[in-house]
């Protein structure tokens, strides 16, 4: 699922310090994100959500119900370089894996 805004409640409390005083977080990690985007994620239960808006790179995995996880991939702005882009591989079995390029290697 591709969303512009971050869904609400995707920030792990362990990562809270990263979001304190960030301009769009209103100062608290638990206020980051959009409730309506989260309702859409909860209803559709995608395996992957890619979002931007906050211009910050962030990865997490959220539990929607027992045994059903959604991978969260938030991208930074384009001026951030590599953090603004993500590539995923979909296996024949349906597993989605983020592909991380080797440092210094150019891909065509």
Q: Provide the pLDDT for residue 25.
A: 46
Residues 6+ apart with CB under 8 A from 34: 5, 6, 7, 8
Q: Provide the pLDDT for residue 8.
A: 92
Number of domains in the chain: 1
Whole-prediction pTM: 0.81
Residue 106 lies in a domain: no
Read off the pLDDT band of 107 (50, 70, 90). Answer: very low
Residue 59 lies in a domain: yes
Residue 82 lies in a domain: yes
Residue 1 lies in a domain: no
**pLDDT averaged over every residue in the chain:** 84
Residue 89 lies in a domain: yes
Residue 68 is part of which domain span? 13-99
């Amino acid at each position: 699922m591709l969303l512009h805004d971050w869904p609400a409640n995707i920030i792990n409390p362990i990562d809270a310090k990263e979001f304190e005083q960030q301009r769009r977080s209103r100062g608290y990690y638990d206020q980051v994100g959009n409730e309506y985007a989260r309702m859409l994620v909860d209803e559709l239960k995608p395996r992957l959500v890619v979002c931007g808006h906050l211009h910050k790179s962030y990865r997490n995995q959220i539990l929607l119900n027992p045994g059903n996880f959604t991978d969260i991939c938030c991208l930074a702005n384009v001026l951030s370089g590599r953090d603004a882009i993500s590539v995923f591989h979909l296996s024949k079995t349906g597993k989605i894996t983020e592909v991380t390029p080797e440092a210094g290697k150019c891909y065509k």
